[in-house]
Amino acid sequence: MTVRTRFAPSPTGYLHIGGARTALFCWLYARHHGGQFILRIEDTDRERSTQAAVQAILDGMQWLDLKHDQGPFYQTHRFERYRQVAQQLLTAGHAYHCYCSKEELEQMRAEQLARKQKPRYDGRCRNHSIPRAGVQPVIRFKNPLTGQTVVNDLVRGQVVYDNSELDDLIIARSDGTPTYNFTVVVDDMDMQITHVIRGDDHLNNTPRQINIFSALRAPPPAYAHLPMILGPDGAKLSKRHGAVSVMQYREEGYLPEAVINYLVRLGWSHDDQEIFSRDEMVKYFDIQDVNKSASAINPEKLLWLNQHYIKSADPNTLAPELGWQLGRIGVPVQDPAKLAAVVRAQLERAKTLREMAQASRFFFEEFSDYDPKAADKNLTAESLPALRDIRARLALLNDWSAPAVHSALEAAAAALGLKLGKVAQPVRVAVSGSGVSPPMDVTLEVLGRELSLARLDRAIGWIAAHTAADPELFG
């Protein structure tokens, strides 16, 4: 029997971290066993489901490179099938019409709560359901009254429920549309799902679903309920911290490889390994190794992984993403050929591509002002000779390369009897406008001769103007 897993989101919002992790585990399990991964859109709630949300989910999965083998199947396209199966249950005596009004049910519920009981349908229409004029009945599933239902969960182990705890759930609303616990069973059965891997908020639904399976005389799939993902503060995920769209991670400059690697280690591990390639994940992933307890998101670790993947990426593949990030912060990229070189220069000093873009503005556009602190410290009368000297040496270079620039910097330092830093730092401020940049030699190489010399001239002029206006500097 080939393994078939499914990811079954309801399209009421974007794909967030929790959903992505569920999708990843489903995908991994299928891949690990050479099986198939099915995407199913659970859109029976027509009020809340939107096409935009479907697209957002598809986009998110594509960005994370989680390809499904079949689907997407839409539950709204299968209403005829659900009607048919509901009828089958009715005929076989496993379901019945219930004419209770919503008000009646609400009252029942309130009374039970008042008596400190678990709210549940008391089955008053189960044996004598009396049609009421003008009332369209719902269909309820006849849950077994006695005995136990055992869920052999692949991550939780054996979980036993008394059937007396379960009530007769509605499988079709009065307007004829089917409900969640029913459509899931029909779909998992029809789509021959072998392993249901989902969030553990569904654990309590599982015995009901198993009972429907038996009424349908179909074998239930194996179940694996994944622990929740919590926000960094250990509280439930919220939009403030993590329950954001996975696409927002792209916008913030994360690589999909980093997000996937982060997610796979949330609730799963393989010895002490932290970094996993796709192939390694597929090879090692097993549901047995999934943890039972919820895990909190650790943004620092995600950042660390992201930096790891930035460092080890091919600069050429990152170049377009950096270009995109620069565009997002309003920096025009006239020379896309420069992007890969900038990536190479910044690889080790950016945790996200957005950070990289912010730190790389000066490569692509003129800065308006020097960073005041950096200028105060480095663009001074004292540094003027060094700047003039290095400017002259650089102008003479016929090989504008990092090693050549480096030699020039060293020569200038030696000639003036200064440490390298005393020459390099003023140059850094002159060409980048700030006190932080990649090493001077590669920065100048990437910047190019023309821009480098122009910015040195600008700085020399700036110092002249500012020191002249400030006699104190001459003591």
Partner RNA sequence: GCUCCCUUCGUCUAGAGGCCUAGGACGGAGCCCUCUCAAGGCUUAAACACCGGUUCGAAUCCGGUAGGGAGCGCCA
Residue numbers annotated as active site? 239
Q: Is 397 among the residues that bind RNA (CB under 7 A)?
A: no
Q: Provide, rounded to whole angstroms, the least separation between the CB of residue 335 and RNA.
A: 22
Which one among 5, 22, 36, 44 touches RNA, defined by CB under 7 A? 44
Q: Is 473 in the site for RNA (CB under 7 A)?
A: no
- Helix then strand count (H, E) for the chain reads 20, 12
Return d(Cα 224, Cα 271) in angstroms, integer.
Answer: 21
Stretch that binds RNA, among 27-35, 76-84, 303-311, 392-400 (CB under 7 A): 303-311
57 versus 465: smaller Cβ distance to RNA = 57
- Using rule CB under 7 A, residue 307 touches RNA: yes
> Which amino acid, one-letter code, is at 448?
G
| CA separation for the pair 361, 359 (Å, rounded) | 6
Site for RNA in 407-466 (CB under 7 A): 419-421, 424-425, 428, 435-441
Pick one of 120, 361, 377, 449: the residue that binds RNA (CB under 7 A): 120
Give min distance, CB of 279 to RNA, in A: 20
Verify binding: residue 96, RNA, rule CB under 7 A.
no
How far, in Å, are 27, 28, 194, 379 from residue 37 at the CA level? 6, 9, 11, 61
Structure tokens at 229: 């993902």
Is residue 124 part of the contact set for RNA (CB under 7 A)?
A: no
Told to check if 101 binds RNA by CB under 7 A, we report yes
User: How many positions of this chain bind RNA (CB under 7 A)?
Assistant: 86
Q: How far apart are CA 318 and CA 280, in angstroms?
A: 23
Lookup result for tokens 């696409």? 247
Q: How far is the CB of 238 from RNA (least distance, A)?
A: 11
**7/37 with CB nearer RNA:** 7
**Residue 46 or 217 with smaller CB distance to RNA:** 46
* Binding span for RNA by CB under 7 A among 23-31, 213-221, 271-279, 464-472: 271-279
Q: Does 280 bind RNA (CB under 7 A)?
A: no
User: What sign for the dihedral angle of Cα 457, 462, 463, 467?
Assistant: positive
What does the alpha-carbon distance between residue 253 and residue 262 come to, in Å, rounded to a whole number? 15
217 lies in the site for RNA, by CB under 7 A = no
Q: Answer yes or no whether residue 313 interacts with RNA by CB under 7 A.
A: no
- Chain positions 364 to 393 lying near RNA, rule: CB under 7 A, are none
CA dihedral 64, 70, 76, 80 (to 10 degrees): -170
Contact call for residue 315 and RNA (CB under 7 A): no
Structure tokens at 437: 């940049």
The footprint of RNA on residues 249-268 (CB under 7 A) is 265-268
Q: How far is the CB of 23 from RNA (least distance, A)?
A: 14
Residues 130-189 contacting RNA, CB under 7 A? 138, 156-157, 159-162, 165, 167, 170, 173-175, 179-181
Helix H or strand E encompassing 109: helix 102-114
Choose one: 302-310, 333-341, 360-368, 384-392; the region binding RNA (CB under 7 A): 302-310
Number of Cα atoms under 13 Å in the Cβ half of residue 383? 27
β-pair partners for 268: 290
Q: What is the DSSP letter of 339?
A: H
- Looking at the Cβ atoms of 159 and 384, the one nearer to RNA is 159
Interface with RNA by CB under 7 A: which range of 81-89, 200-208, 365-373, 463-471? Answer: 200-208
- Under the criterion CB under 7 A, does residue 67 sit at the interface with RNA? no
Shortest Cβ 471–RNA spacing (Å): 30
**What DSSP designation does 291 have?**
-
Burial class for 475, CB neighbours closer than 10 Å (0-12, 13-18, 19+): exposed
Long-range contacts of 45-51 (CB under 8 A, 24+ apart): 45/10, 45/12, 46/76, 46/177, 48/10, 48/12, 49/10, 49/11, 49/12, 49/76, 50/11, 50/12, 51/11
41 Cβ partners below 8 Å, 6+ apart? 8, 9, 10, 11, 49, 54, 57, 71, 72, 73, 74, 75
Q: Which is nearer to RNA, 106 or 470 (CB)?
A: 106
